[in-house]
Structure 1
Amino acid sequence: MSKITFSVIGSCVSRDVFNRKFVPEYKEFYECISTAWQSSIISLMSPKVTLSKDDLELSEEISKHRHNTLMEDLSKEYLEEIKTNQPDYIIIDFYADMRYGVVQIGDRYLTNNPNGFRKTKFFREKKFDNSYRFRKNLNIYRELWEKAFDDLYNYVQEHLPKTKLILNCFRYANSYVNENGELVMFDQERYNYLDADTKLYNELYTYILDKYKLRKIDLRENEYYADGNYAFGLAPWHYERKYHKDYFHTLNQICLRDYVFTKKQSNGIRAKIKRLLG
């Protein structure tokens, strides 16, 4: 049975709905065929970066997943992958740009990811030209980011004309539920950036949605807590199961709306949903 296909440019807040730990039934309807994991939009749309084996020497062992993330961020191979696979939808979030920022190497950029890139000899010896963070270097970063998103949007229009973009408008949780079921505030000293980042996220969502007609998953009006027992660790963006349930429900609504209100779906969404429902 043909399923509706998704790619993700983002992080856990967008990708974990396609994980049976969180949404056991998702594979009955959907297939996630590729992910640009924790990649800055700026890095994604930059030319590829080639580093020597010596530069890629790591200060500590990292998982295969994190090593693959690092190598894919260098190669920018995701763009060719989605062009080949032609997903029905691409879900985008801005987590990596907000949390990690980028480093500049000549006219090229890499995601300044602490889980991989920052462990390389290249990073430790500061061989890059500049590093930028969204709030720290707001004007510079915003200009780079806006251009990169324009480039991404135009790339999709040119090479994936049947693919629809979905923006995931999420916000951080300020509290989590611990193992005893108690509600606990995140440490305000350790997580002192939550409100400022959320404010900037909201500005970016408004900018993008005003400029482009994108579908969106927007659950900001709902109150979600982080999960103290989350499979990938406690964090303000690792939500309780209710978030994933609501996220999945919103995806269903988007796909059904495309089926009901669009008479001609050249990418086969109507046919796929009809088969699924039948």
Structure 2
Amino acid sequence: MFTITRLVPQNESITLEFDSGGQQKYLQLELRYKDMERFIGGQAYFYHQTIKVMQREGLFYANIPIKQLLQESGIVLKSDQLIWLAVVSDGKDYPINGSEEVSHFNMPLSNSLEVASSTNKKNEMNFKLCVRNPAVTIKVNPGPAGATFQLSTPEILEKRLFLRKRVNKDAGIHSESYRMPHMPEGYRFEQSLLNPDYFKEEVTIFDFCVESKVDGVSIESFAKVQGGDVFRTHTFHFQNKSYTGELYQTKKGNLALKVTRKYNKIKIKRIEEIRPDVYKVILPSKLAGKAGLYRYHKLKYVSSQDGYTEFKNLELFHNGEDNSYLLLDLKTLFGEIDTNYEQRYRILIQTWDGTFYKAGLEDKLEVCHPLNRNEVWLEGEKVLNLFVRNKQSSHMKVGVLGSCYSRSHFNSVSKFYNNKDYKMIFKVGYSHFWPSVISMVSEPVPFDKRMLEDASERKAAEIKSELNKSIIPDLKEAAVDYLLIDFYVDAIHGVRMYENGAAIGVNPSVRSTSFYRNEVLKTTRQIDSRSPEFFSIWMKACDEFIARIQQFLPQERMVLNTGGLINRYYDKNREVKSFIDEKIISQKELIYYNSTWDRMNHYFLARAPRAKVIDMKKYGYIGDVHHPSPFGPHHYESAYYRSLTGELARIVTFDKARENTRFTL
């Protein structure tokens, strides 16, 4: 509708002239700054600026003082930034199309920044801010409880040093920040200045980042270690002896701080079965604090690390022998668990001074305690582990709350999915595409049906379910036998949240509407795992989600598809290629999103231990360039989808066998 006719970069401003296609209504031009940190396909902008549009000789034009706008915005540029152009008229937005008669430009704004014009695959005009992050080196002067730092940036007078906390230890994507105080001897860091709430993970990593003002525009860089290879790791200890801090140099030469939680081992004095199904675990000394049974897993990706998710609290008792002890009622703890995978737990204790202990063993232990639904094994050589294993590793109406990971295998039409046999076993009783756990349990969002006029009938129905929060009630009414779920949306995209706490899942149906672009993005804020409060919100929502589902479907009938992004794919010649090598996704993003997703999976399973699990990663499936949906690390080869049906059928088969119910596939 709107086409560029002239584009003139001059004096750190851009004059843009365009044809209206005959439209004479009041127009405004919006510069929409794409959210560059979210997963590909998010199509959200985090900031926008409105530019006055003037009319001259039948054409419209706008003067964009781009550098001045950046200086006034307060935006901190961390990498290249894309700016979409949108003409807003009468509540609707339109792109500006490119023209072969108009040449693109590159215009320097400073030594560290330039702006360039370009068009996308749809021939829509946009601007790109090309950032050259200033080279900032940092000198470390270590001390017994911290360190001081000097920054070497003589050409930059205004700068600030921050500790940026990584959301996940192996990926440089951040949530919370701590600004380092500046003193006469330099920037000062002492371990006592950090909030203990930062250390909720086994390993917490902070990156040293410098925010510099370059010609009035804020640009952030990682602080590189002065001296390069000669830097030596510096270790210091916290007052809480369960934590150790370490200043170190990353593989890229940046300075980082790693805080590791240590578990002191307290060796169990003896274990006694004091009555049927109940064991008394006697400790060698009296401890004051809290104890718990924690689900144990390995934190994977770049470096392997033990990980724990709280399962149940355990009471610490004391006797006259100056000992503390715990009671393990195996039937109460594990008796109702009927699962298709091995579960592993450990006993952790935190004393009131903050010291962490894990229950260890003097001698090797291997004891099997059979329950009605499973077997509990007390095992270990140095550390006590409790394993919950099935005694025996059973057409069903299925509900699906998930993404393509869980929905696409119920497709008998597409040649790619080629899954005609699923109807012999399953019937899809209810399905909702891209639901968010946070959104499903939040308050309804009032809406006018006229807001959805540009959506198809099918998409409008999905959006209405999203807004009026009818997904769980509709699922209940469907009376399904099993529920298949995945957390793709919350792990990858997050939600948009209103001031009153109501949330909307960022799904494709919602995103395709002008309602999303012109109202949702302007009246809500993005909440995802980069937001410090996100996991608290998500965990609370997950607890409520489980509680609501359990009102009409037992945990044993919930099936978690663990999902996960992939790195490799088949190209058109069936040669294996890498999404990372092809720069479709970075290694940092892959690690970050998968770590976030794993964290959600582990929390859900700790809260719903009787739920079933499907983990397709163990089969090594990769992507395929011929996938009918957008090609990327979130879509698999066709064999994945047929195998997923087999995995679900196996769960049903095993359940039926355990119930000793006769049925025919």
- TM-score w.r.t. length of structure 2: 0.37
1:156 touches 1:163 (CA, 8 Å); kept in 2?
no
Name 2:510's counterpart in structure 1: 116
Alpha-carbon deviations, 1:246-277, whole Å to 9, x = none? 212211110011011124xxxxxx45xx133x
Q: Secondary structure at the match of 2:619?
A: coil
1:57 touches 1:120 (CA, 8 Å); kept in 2?
no
C-alpha distance 63-129 of structure 1, shift in aligned 2 (>3 A): closer
C-alpha distance 176-122 of structure 1, shift in aligned 2 (>3 A): closer
**C-alpha displacement of 1:229:** 0.9
**C-alpha displacement of 1:124:** 2.5
More displaced, 144-153 or 48-57? 48-57
1:25 and 1:174 map into 2 onto residues whose CA distance is 29
Equivalent residue for 2:534, pick from 132, 136, 141: 141
1:275 aligns with 2:628: no
C-alpha distance 56-36 of structure 1, shift in aligned 2 (>3 A): same
1:5 touches 1:33 (CA, 8 Å); kept in 2?
yes
**Which has the higher Rg, Structure 1 or Structure 2?**
2
1:240 aligns with 2:637: yes
The letter of the residue matching 1:208 is F
Name 2:440's counterpart in structure 1: 44
1:47 touches 1:76 (CA, 8 Å); kept in 2?
yes
More displaced, 31-40 or 229-238? 229-238
2:462 and 2:512 map into 1 onto residues whose CA distance is 12
Name 1:76's counterpart in structure 2: 469
C-alpha distance 209-190 of structure 1, shift in aligned 2 (>3 A): same
After TM superposition, the structure 1 = structure 2 runs for residues 138-217 of structure 1, keeping only pairs within 5 Å, are: 139-161=532-554, 164-187=557-580, 189-192=583-586, 193-213=589-609, 214-217=611-614
**Structure 2 unaligned runs (5+)?**
1-394
1:103 touches 1:128 (CA, 8 Å); kept in 2?
no
Name 1:98's counterpart in structure 2: 491
1:229 and 1:122 map into 2 onto residues whose CA distance is 30
Name 1:5's counterpart in structure 2: 397
Name 2:66's counterpart in structure 1: none
**C-alpha displacement of 1:123:** 4.0
C-alpha distance 100-115 of structure 1, shift in aligned 2 (>3 A): farther
Q: Secondary structure at the match of 1:245?
A: helix
Q: Secondary structure at the match of 2:507?
A: coil
1:100 touches 1:114 (CA, 8 Å); kept in 2?
no
Alpha-carbon deviations, 1:160-217, whole Å to 9, x = none? 3497110001221212112221212115544122221112212222222223221010
The letter of the residue matching 2:601 is Y
Name 1:16's counterpart in structure 2: 408
1:250 aligns with 2:647: yes
1:17 and 1:86 map into 2 onto residues whose CA distance is 21
1:64 and 1:240 map into 2 onto residues whose CA distance is 30
Q: Secondary structure at the match of 1:25?
A: helix
Q: Secondary structure at the match of 1:34?
A: strand
**C-alpha displacement of 1:119:** 3.4
2:451 touches 2:515 (CA, 8 Å); kept in 1?
yes
2:495 touches 2:505 (CA, 8 Å); kept in 1?
yes
Name 1:32's counterpart in structure 2: 428
Percent identity of paired positions between Structure 1 and Structure 2? 25
C-alpha distance 118-131 of structure 1, shift in aligned 2 (>3 A): farther
RMSD over equivalenced CA pairs, Å: 2.2
The letter of the residue matching 2:616 is L
C-alpha distance 97-118 of structure 1, shift in aligned 2 (>3 A): farther
Equivalent residue for 1:128, pick from 498, 523, 526: 523
1:211 and 1:151 map into 2 onto residues whose CA distance is 11
1:190 and 1:26 map into 2 onto residues whose CA distance is 33
C-alpha distance 28-114 of structure 1, shift in aligned 2 (>3 A): closer
Alpha-carbon deviations, 1:51-78, whole Å to 9, x = none? 23464465xxx55544333222112222
The letter of the residue matching 1:245 is R
**C-alpha displacement of 1:47:** 2.2
C-alpha distance 124-165 of structure 1, shift in aligned 2 (>3 A): same
C-alpha distance 64-229 of structure 1, shift in aligned 2 (>3 A): farther
Which one has a larger percent helix, Structure 1 or Structure 2?
Answer: 1
2:516 and 2:629 map into 1 onto residues whose CA distance is 27
Name 1:218's counterpart in structure 2: 615
Which one has a larger percent strand, Structure 1 or Structure 2?
Answer: 2
**C-alpha displacement of 1:101:** 1.2
Name 2:287's counterpart in structure 1: none
C-alpha distance 9-195 of structure 1, shift in aligned 2 (>3 A): same
1:72 and 1:227 map into 2 onto residues whose CA distance is 32
More displaced, 239-248 or 166-175? 239-248
**C-alpha displacement of 1:129:** 3.8
1:87 touches 1:163 (CA, 8 Å); kept in 2?
no
Q: Secondary structure at the match of 1:18?
A: coil
